[in-house]
């Protein structure tokens, strides 16, 4: 059920102001919006797609290793992967560490083949899958298998014979023989791949992305073919007419963009569930524009959803979305015997439980607040007794969450299982960066820093901000020594920039020490990994970049690849700050307005910004060389 609270006086004042300021031609169409409504716990936006009965046969025995996470049940405890320290930790039923194994900082996911007593761990920084022997009391390394750059998502086939691996920097899906690590096949993916899951019958897999409105489905018998499946519903395409002369593109106003799909899980052979975010970067403005907010509207531009996909043989699979109250849903697990789903809200420190997950009678059970505002649940798994294991990326603690017959939760916390590598300020900044439902950061806490900057990257969108469309910049590796900040260079230092951003988001603002901690965290972030490129092409591209004919290095020079100056370029800003080019392969779209979708488009002068390097005389081969070099920055 949709819940609503009484309108606040300030909300009514904003509503009245919007009516008074609306153009006369549109004022008569003004309607009162439910500004203060709360998101539903679980509300389907269409008919359920599941089966008429509970799963049976192989579906009811689907192993947990069909999709990766940061925690897996071992029956007598759990195996936890802490990306902060890079430790793989075995914990007892109370969540206390009994053994540990160093994998490497930024390790991403694990899957456990309990029958073979083997774990597979993606070593994101080390470009490897680590095979871990679980036969003894303490886990040990059995093998390390090299992968393309930056392995992340893992999924093990039902028979334990094939391991699927997504790689972020090199954008590949790799199938490895789970016995010896030999490559069975490899296929390219779109930018920013993350999670992968295999169906219980081993016939198909789905891959998720951070910056796409779709997921990709492939049949494992023919991995050369992929089908893109839209997230959300047809309302993603909803578009409202812009008021004459307001300068907003009518084709994208009101359109919703699914983003930040970190994970996926099959619930049965033909049904899959994907948690994700929904962003509206250019909101409806027929009745007046809110220039002091992201999106230009008066409603929160961020919501969260589960998309349920009927991933059968159809070329255009059916799907339906469910709006949820969790903030930044990043992990989920399915208990096939009970047909129960649990989803973790990374930003809200809460869980969502859903029963009959694979059935037409799918229903919300309860939301559980974990009670630790600095948890950051990043991984979930079901224990054999039906309790949900949770791993918190911020506190590095585990919790066991059990529901009784009346769906009342009991939570048993374990101690921290690993030590952070961060300083105290960096750790506090990390916590604040991902925190949702915090009114100090945004209106009603609807937006967190990581809503638009997942993993300190970019959502790939251009947002309506103060009557301009401005693309979300990459943060990792680009903060130290690149001031002033903002696309117009209007913020002289990072603390001022963070404060003005919170004001833009409608937040009340953090304390000075918290703002300092957030700045410290951002300054500590590494740049994204560069994709693997031909050394010969990179060398030729580097020479072009530095050439007097193009003059790229005249503005993009030094360690941070910026002159830190403002230039009067064409576009919707009077002057534009020179951005750093660090992590360029991970920062599409390009230009401050996002008008160049790719580097190739930028070099072909197909964006709305002109007056930089003259690339008209470059050959196709030279453009390819220059792109290869730019992608390694």
Tens-digit pLDDT profile for residues 471-508: 999 999 999 999 999 988 888 999 999 999 999 888 99
Per-residue three-class SS string for 9-78? HHHHHHHHHHHHHCCHHHHCCCCCCCCCEECCCEEECCCCCCECCCCCCCHHHCCHHHECECEEECCCCE
pLDDT at 572: 66
- Distance of alpha carbon 428 from alpha carbon 516, whole angstroms: 10
Q: Are 600 and 618 in contact (CB under 8 A)?
A: no
- Backbone angle region of 600, left / alpha / beta, with phi > 0 → left and psi within -120 to 50 → alpha: alpha
- Distance of alpha carbon 242 from alpha carbon 286, whole angstroms: 6
pLDDT at 571: 63
pLDDT at 487: 84
Q: The tokens of 127 are what? A: 């470009």
pLDDT at 18: 29
Domains of the chain from N-terminus onward: 3-38 (no CATH), 44-52+65-241+251-421 (2.130.10.10), 425-524 (1.10.760.10), 535-630 (1.10.760.10)
Kindly report the pTM of this predicted structure: 0.91
Return the SS3 of 631.
Answer: coil
What is the number of alpha carbons within 13 Å of residue 108 lying toward its C-beta? 28
H or E segment and range at residue 518: helix 512-524
Segments in the chain below pLDDT 50: 1-36, 234-250
pLDDT at 252: 62
Give me the residue label for tokens 């954008």. 171
Angle, CA of 495, 291 and 212, to the nearest 5°: 80
Residue 521, Cβ neighbours under 10 Å: how many? Answer: 24
pLDDT at 11: 30
pLDDT at 467: 85
pLDDT in tens, 134-146: 999 999 999 999 9
Q: What is the dihedral of CA 226, 229, 230, 233, to 10 degrees?
A: 170
pLDDT at 262: 98
pLDDT at 239: 33
pLDDT in tens, 446-466: 999 999 999 999 999 999 988
Per-residue three-class SS string for 539-552? HHHHHHHHCCCCCH
Burial (0-12, 13-18, 19+ Cβ within 10 Å), 462 = buried
Burial (0-12, 13-18, 19+ Cβ within 10 Å), 284 = buried
């Amino acid at each position: 059920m949709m819940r609503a609270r009484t309108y606040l006086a300030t909300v009514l004042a904003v509503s009245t102001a919007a009516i008074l300021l609306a153009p006369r031609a549109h004022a008569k169409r003004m309607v009162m919006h439910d500004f203060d409504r709360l998101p539903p716990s679980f509300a389907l936006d269409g008919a359920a797609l599941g089966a008429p009965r509970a799963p049976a046969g192989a579906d009811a025995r689907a192993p947990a290793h069909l999709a990766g996470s940061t925690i897996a049940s071992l029956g007598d405890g759990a195996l936890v992967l802490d990306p902060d320290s890079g430790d793989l930790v075995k914990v007892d039923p109370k969540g206390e560490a009994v053994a540990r194994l160093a994998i490497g900082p930024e390790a991403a996911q694990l899957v456990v083949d309990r029958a073979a007593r083997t774990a597979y761990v993606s070593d994101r920084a080390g470009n490897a899958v680590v095979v871990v022997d679980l036969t003894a009391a303490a886990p040990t390394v059995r093998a390390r298998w090299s992968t393309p750059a930056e392995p992340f998502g893992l999924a093990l086939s039902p028979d334990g014979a094939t391991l699927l691996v997504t790689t972020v920097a090199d954008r590949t899906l790799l199938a490895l023989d789970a016995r010896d690590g030999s490559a069975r096949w490899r296929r390219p993916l779109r930018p920013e791949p993350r999670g992968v899951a295999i169906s219980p019958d081993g016939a198909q897999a789905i891959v998720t992305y951070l910056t796409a409105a779709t997921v990709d489905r492939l049949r494992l018998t023919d991995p050369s073919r992929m089908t893109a499946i839209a997230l959300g519903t047809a309302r993603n395409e909803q578009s409202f007419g812009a008021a004459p002369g307001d300068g907003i593109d009518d084709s994208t106003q009101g359109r919703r963009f699914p983003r930040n799909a970190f994970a996926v899980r099959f619930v049965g052979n033909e049904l899959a569930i994907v948690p994700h975010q929904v962003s509206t970067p250019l909101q409806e403005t027929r009745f007046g524009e809110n220039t002091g907010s992201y999106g230009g509207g008066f409603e929160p531009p961020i919501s969260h959803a589960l998309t349920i996909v009927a991933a059968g043989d159809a070329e255009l699979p059916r799907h339906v979305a469910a709006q949820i109250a969790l903030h930044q849903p990043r992990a989920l697990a399915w208990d096939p015997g009970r047909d129960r789903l649990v989803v973790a809200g990374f930003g809200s420190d809460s869980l969502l439980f859903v029963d009959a997950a694979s059935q037409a009678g799918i229903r919300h059970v309860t939301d559980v607040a974990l009670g630790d505002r600095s948890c950051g649940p990043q991984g979930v798994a079901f224990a054999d007794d039906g309790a949900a294991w949770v791993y918190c990326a911020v506190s590095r603690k585990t919790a066991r969450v059990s529901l009784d017959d009346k769906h009342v939760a009991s939570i048993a916390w374990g101690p921290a299982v690993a030590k952070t590598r961060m300083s105290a300020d960096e750790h506090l900044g990390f916590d604040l960066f991902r925190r949702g439902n915090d009114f100090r950061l945004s209106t009603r806490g609807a937006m967190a820093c990581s809503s638009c900057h997942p993993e300190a990257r970019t959502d790939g969108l251009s947002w309506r901000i103060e009557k301009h469309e401005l693309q979300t910049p990459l943060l990792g590796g680009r903060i130290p020594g690149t001031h002033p900040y903002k696309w117009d260079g209007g913020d002289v230092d990072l603390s001022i920039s963070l404060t003005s951003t919170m004001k833009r988001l409608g937040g009340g603002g953090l304390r000075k020490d918290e703002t300092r901690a957030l700045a410290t965290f951002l300054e500590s972030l590494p740049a994204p990994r560069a994709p693997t490129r031909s050394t010969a092409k990179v060398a030729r591209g580097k020479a072009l970049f530095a050439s007097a004919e193009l003059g790229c290095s005249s503005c993009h020079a030094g360690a941070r690849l910026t002159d830190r100056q403002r230039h009067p370029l064409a576009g919707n800003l009077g002057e534009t700050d020179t951005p750093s080019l660090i992590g360029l392969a991970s920062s599409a779209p390009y230009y401050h307005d996002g008008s160049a979708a790719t580097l190739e488009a930028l070099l072909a002068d197909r964006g709305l910004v002109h007056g930089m390097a003259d690339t008209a005389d470059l050959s196709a081969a030279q453009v390819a060389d220059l792109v290869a070099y730019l992608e390694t920055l």
